[in-house]
Structure 1
Amino acid sequence: MDDTPSTFPDSLPALRAAAREAGFDMSCEERTGSLLALLAAARPGGRILELGTGVGEGTAWLLSGMDSASSLVTVELDEVVQEVAREQLRSDPRVTFVAGDGAEWLQTYDGEPFDLVFADTWPGKFTHLERTLELVASGGTYLIDDLSPQPGWPAGHGAAVQRLLTDLEEREDFHSVRMAWASGLLMAVRSSHARITPRHGGTD
């Protein structure tokens, strides 16, 4: 079965062209994007958080699945890179762009939790994991990608990925599943009945 998406966000060609021009090659894989659109569509009126805007390809996928009552906050450290996304997507009133350190944003955010969190950068995945999971609403979804071995991984990164996967799968307040698909994904859903237990592991 061909698992290539059959439909794409209207803004994707322009975003991809801008990414090539900027030499940016870290956008989310299109199968991951199609899953993001599906997860966003499953949350009518949902609150969504993206950590790592990049040039906005993941953002575009999320917006394509969101309904008119949903909202998206997307955070990116590199303001120059994020400007590509702003240029193409800023007219959409559902999205709020935040340029700044994701770690600092996570530490200072004091708003409502999110129904879907897509962590596509180090803060929220390899650092500040506990804080990020605290921001997932009851029944909400946490998604991470880029978990399959890749040629450009620095020394020791494979071990860090394995520690992260183990940490998430051992939690009692989330149900999680690994997916050997796209760039390697893990999706976790906060249990609606489990008590949140603070954890202090090497990923924070």
Structure 2
Amino acid sequence: MTDLPPLVVLAQAAAAELGMPLSREGTGPSCCLPGVGRFLAVLAAGCAGGLIGEMGTGVGVGAAWMASAMPAGCRLVTVELDPVRVAAAQRVFADQDRVEVIHGDSYDELARRAPFDLVFVDGGPSDRVVELLRIGGRLVFDDVTPVEALPADSPYRENDPKREFFFTDSRLVATEVVLPDLQNSLLVGTRVR
């Protein structure tokens, strides 16, 4: 489990060039964690002939995990607002015909291409994102801290907008997946209606 796909190594090198950390430590944007990436790869591998979307490319680490695992006939569209990160991600995926890196507003760009089999949201939650999924499509949010790992005085113990969205939207069957480090988790949902 320590070997990384070559595309992921390339994306991590691009992150290092821009000074983006490969962990959630710090205050700025970070890259997709390896545990998150492996989970995304598992989901992407099941998207035969499908369409995958990502909101918030960064430099493409999460997209690299998905692109490395997606079957032939599958395509990935990833959208980033920051032009410097877009340029870095476009270099990472320059030889990948099935990956499109777009500069722009993530929701608007993905809405033009919907419906998706899988959408990875590496940005703020929006109840509109469910509309991008086909019935049976999966939605993944990262950058979540498990409740047990939160400080005792954290307001997210009682009121977390991401969890509230996932667990109250009747269009989703959802769960939280805690990563092996016990410090990070994902919210995962399947659109059922």
TM-score, reference length from structure 1: 0.78
Counterpart of 2:77? 73
Let me know the Cα RMSD of the aligned residues: 2.1
Distance 2:99 2:114 in 1: 16
In the alignment, structure 1 residue 139 sits paired with structure 2 residue 141: no
SS of the residue corresponding to residue 145 of structure 1 reads strand
Deviations 1:86-140 (A, max 9, x none): 112121110111111325435xx33330000000012xx2xxx222110111111
Residue identity opposite 1:93 in structure 2: D
Counterpart contact for 2:14–2:92, Cα < 8 Å: no
Report the CA distance between 1:23 and its aligned residue: 0.9
Counterpart contact for 2:79–2:106, Cα < 8 Å: yes
Report the CA distance between 1:160 and its aligned residue: 9.9
Counterpart of 2:191? 190
Counterpart contact for 1:56–1:85, Cα < 8 Å: yes
Alpha-carbon distance change, 115 to 161 in structure 1, aligned in 2, over 3 angstroms: farther
Distance 2:104 2:167 in 1: 30
Counterpart of 1:199? none
SS of the residue corresponding to residue 95 of structure 2 reads coil
Runs of 4+, deviation exceeding 6 Å: none
SS of the residue corresponding to residue 32 of structure 1 reads helix
Among all aligned residue pairs of Structure 1 and Structure 2, give the percentage whose two residues are the same amino acid.
34
Alpha-carbon distance change, 27 to 85 in structure 1, aligned in 2, over 3 angstroms: same
SS of the residue corresponding to residue 80 of structure 1 reads helix
TM-score, reference length from structure 2: 0.82
Deviations 1:135-188 (A, max 9, x none): 111111000001117xxxxxx984797122122212222100012226211100
Alpha-carbon distance change, 160 to 143 in structure 1, aligned in 2, over 3 angstroms: farther
Decide which of 121, 124, 132 is 2:123's aligned counterpart.
121
SS of the residue corresponding to residue 117 of structure 2 reads strand
Report the CA distance between 1:83 and its aligned residue: 1.5
Counterpart of 2:18? 22
Counterpart of 1:178? 176
Decide which of 163, 173, 182 is 1:165's aligned counterpart.
163
Alpha-carbon distance change, 157 to 100 in structure 1, aligned in 2, over 3 angstroms: farther
Give the gaps of 5 or more residues in structure 2. 22-29, 147-153
Counterpart of 1:54? 58
Aligned residues: 175
Distance 2:93 2:155 in 1: 33
Alpha-carbon distance change, 117 to 23 in structure 1, aligned in 2, over 3 angstroms: same
